[in-house]
Structures are given as structure tokens and as C-alpha cells.
Amino acid sequence: MNVGLPPNAFRAAGAWPEAAVLPPAASAALASAALLYPMAAGWVFGPQRPRAALWYARLRTPDWKPPDAVIPIAWTLIDSSLAVAAYRLLRTPAGPGTVRQEARRQALGWLVLNVLLIGGWSAVFFGARQLPASLLVAAAMVGTGAAGARAAHRVDPVAGRLMLPFIGWVGFATALTGALWWLNRRR
């Protein structure tokens, strides 16, 4: 609806109409993918599958590996944090052609990539049982997580901070995956 304002009126005034933001229900539906996709990938490829469980149980593990029960709890909290960050980014107004819009687009792109990599790691580690490749995926998540948090922080500092647990956890997971590869390299 044109109300007689020039196209850049909202940008010049520092505001953008609410229509530039997804409705709450649509934002919640999209953001929930950050929680549901990794869970689905975990169920398809994860250690609850008998062959994957047997393979995983036979691996030599470092003494500092957390108990198996901790890992799904940690991932649920981290995936939830990513979902909240996604929701906040989707609900943040950003006018077309603005620096903030570009930062928001980048932040959401990094977030989508991170969510896909979470599922990809499960497929490579448990599904294909490729420790070296899963180490590369884990290390990639550290970099993509940092890039995503930085881009998100430019749009919404809270969304950027919500991505920090992901970076910390995948940093730890990278070290753990490297240790698993090292301890099992001759098998």
C-alpha cells in the first residue's frame, strides 16, 4: 500500500514497517528447524541404531570424554539456543538495502549452514563412521559458528551471544573427535 511516502522514507527515519518482519508464527516455525533437523539427523544416524552403537562402544575414548548421557542434553540445549537466535533474527526489522539487512541475511545463512553441519556431522561420524572426515566437519562448525555469531551480533547482540555455547561445544567436540581419531587410527 503506497501512502505517498518516498521509497526511502522509512530508511531515512531509521525505522522499517513491521511488514518487513516475518509474523511470529512463521518465525517460530522456521526457527524450530534449528532444533528439529539436528534431532532428526541424530535419530537417523545416531548411536541408538544397533550397528552404530556397537561401533561406537568399541572405540577407544579419552579419559576426559563426558558421559554418553550428557551429550544429547547438551545438544538439546545448544540447538534450542540456536533456535531462539534464529527466531530473534527473523523477527528483527531490517530495511531493504541496509547494512543491517545484509548482516541479518549473513547471520541467517551461517545459522542454516551450522544446523546442516550438525546433522552432517552425525551422518559422517555415526552413519559413515569416518573419523577424519567428521573431524573436518567439527572444525568447520567452529569457524562457521564464529562467523554466524559475529554476523548475528551486528543485528541483535543477544542473538549473537545465544550462538556462543554452540561455538564452545563444537570446539570441545572437535578436540574429542580428534582424540577419537588418534586413539583409533590403527583400527
Give the chain's domains with CATH numbers. Answer: 20-183 (1.20.1260.100)
| Residue in 13, 36, 161 with CA at minimum distance from that of residue 93 | 13
Residue 45: the pLDDT is 76
**Per residue, what are the HEC states of 111-142?**
HHHHHHHHHHHHHHHHHCCCHHHHHHHHHHHH
Each residue of 114-123: pLDDT tens digit? 988 998 999 9
Q: Would you say residue 36 has pLDDT above 60? A: yes
Q: Report d(CA 98, CA 117) in Å as an integer.
A: 29
Each residue of 47-64: pLDDT tens digit? 888 898 899 999 999 999
Neighbours of 102 (CB within 10 A): 14
Q: Would you say residue 171 has pLDDT above 90? A: yes
Percent of all residues in the chain with a pLDDT value above 90, rounded to a whole number = 53
What predicted TM-score, i.e. pTM, was given to this entire model?
A: 0.79
Please check whether residue 34 is in contact with residue 82, taking contact to mean a CB–CB distance below 8 angstroms. Answer: yes
Residue 92: the pLDDT is 84
Q: Would you say residue 103 has pLDDT above 80? A: yes
Q: Report d(CA 142, CA 158) in Å as an integer.
A: 19
Q: Would you say residue 184 has pLDDT above 70? A: yes
Under the banding of pLDDT at 50, 70 and 90, the label for residue 97 is low
Mean pLDDT across 168-177: 97
Q: Which of 3-17, 62-76, 155-169 has the lowest mean pLDDT?
A: 3-17
Q: Give the chain's mean pLDDT.
A: 84
Residue count (the chain): 187
Q: Which of 25-34, 52-61, 138-147, 170-179 has the lowest mean pLDDT?
A: 25-34
Q: Would you say residue 68 has pLDDT above 70? A: yes
